[in-house]
Amino acid sequence: MQRDQLQALLERWRDGAVSVAQLEDSLRDGYAATAIVDEALVDLDRVRRCGFPEVVYGAGKAPEQVLQILIAQEQAGQASLVTRATAEQAGLVAARFSDAEYNPVARTIRRGTAHPAGTSGRIAVITAGATDRPVAEEAVETARWMGCDVRLITDVGVAGPQRLIERRRDFCDMDAVVVVAGMEGALPSVVGGWVDCPVVGVPTSVGYGAQLQGLAPLLSMLSSCAANVCVVNIDAGFKGGYFAGLIARRRQTATSSEATPDGA
């Protein structure tokens, strides 16, 4: 925002043509908070625009760069989530922040929650096999960082259909469900037939040659006949967890609004 634009905006506010809320929005849009950290531009205004802080993709970043990004977020009063994090990155972050939680299976570093725990709805994360666990753990950590209550259900793939039925009551009343599966990727369609909420399919690269590093389950999930199934990228546990978290938070917010009497 140029100086003459700022002056014009303030004059309009002084004259009553612009409300305080409109003034704030214009100032925020004109001076969106960005921290410059070791060649990285940290978007500190994303909370206002998108509801959650910027998530840090750790792969390829030096440990010191990751730490400096988290320091910038901490100074802005924001929670942090790093995906595809290394043990070296986690060690440096932990030396600075005692509350940092490193999940080596998920390869995530989590500091706090973007919203208070339990306020963003409920999510179940389901895996077809134990080998899908790392991708599922990434989804779990993401949803917890978003403030969701998360239930992890593992190893209930279609090769043993009774296993899923036995756990049905553990996921049938969720706001959203994330289903992580490799091989032929059939599980999201089956789960979709048991629930009245969105199901987010996450294909994994687990499987033999014709599985094509996740392409086969990706195409299978995209071809699902279950109307409530949507699909994210291969091995994208973060994307699955984040998308489900957005759905759950919206559903939770809508439910809370309906339960609040008018004028309360």
Name the residue ranges covered by the structural domains of the chain.
Answer: 34-43+52-112, 122-256
- Residue 260 is predicted with a pLDDT of 61
- At the topology level, CATH places domain 122-256 in Rossmann fold (3.40.50)
> What pLDDT sits at residue 34?
78
Residue 30: pLDDT band (50, 70, 90) is: low
CA 254, 256, 258, 263 torsion-angle sign: negative
Give the pLDDT of residue 229: 97
Q: How many residues can be counted in the chain?
A: 264
The CA distances from residue 196 to 7, 59, 165, 233, in Å, are 53, 36, 16, 23
Q: What value does the mean pLDDT of the chain take? A: 91
Distances (CA, A) of 17 to 20, 24, 224: 10, 14, 53
CA dihedral (53, 58, 61, 67) in degrees, to 10, reads 60
If you average pLDDT over residues 102-117, what whole number do you get?
A: 96
**Alpha helical stretches, state H, the chain:** 3-14, 20-30, 46-50, 63-75, 87-96, 133-145, 161-166, 187-192, 215-222, 237-259
Residues 123-138, mean pLDDT to the nearest whole number: 97
Give per-residue pLDDT as tens, 133-156. 999 999 999 999 999 999 999 999
**Tens digit of pLDDT for each residue in 171-184?**
999 999 999 999 99
The pTM (predicted TM-score) of the whole model is 0.85
Angle, CA of 59, 63 and 67, to the nearest 5°? 110
